[in-house]
Structure 1
Amino acid sequence: MSLEVNLFTAVIVLIVGLYDMAYAFNRRYKSKKGGFGPFMVLGIIFTIFGIYLLIRHWMG
Structure 2
Amino acid sequence: MSLEVNLFTAVIVLIVGLYDMAYAFNRRYKSKKGGFGPFMVLGIIFTIFGIYLLIRYWMG
TM-score bracket, shorter-length normalisation: over 0.9
Alignment partners' CA distance in 1, 2:38 and 2:10: 22
Give the gaps of 5 or more residues in structure 2: none
Number of residues paired by the alignment? Answer: 60
How far does the alpha carbon of each residue in 1:17-36 deviate from its partner, in whole angstroms, 9 at most, with x for none? 00000000010013334100
Report % sequence identity.
Answer: 98
Shift >6 Å, 4+ stretches: none
TM-score with structure 1 setting the length:
0.94
Which region of structure 1 is more displaced relative to structure 2, 23-32 or 42-51? 23-32
The alignment yields a C-alpha RMSD, in angstroms, of 0.9
TM-score with structure 2 setting the length:
0.94
Alignment partners' CA distance in 2, 1:40 and 1:49: 14
Contact kept in structure 2, 1:27 and 1:33, CA below 8 Å: no
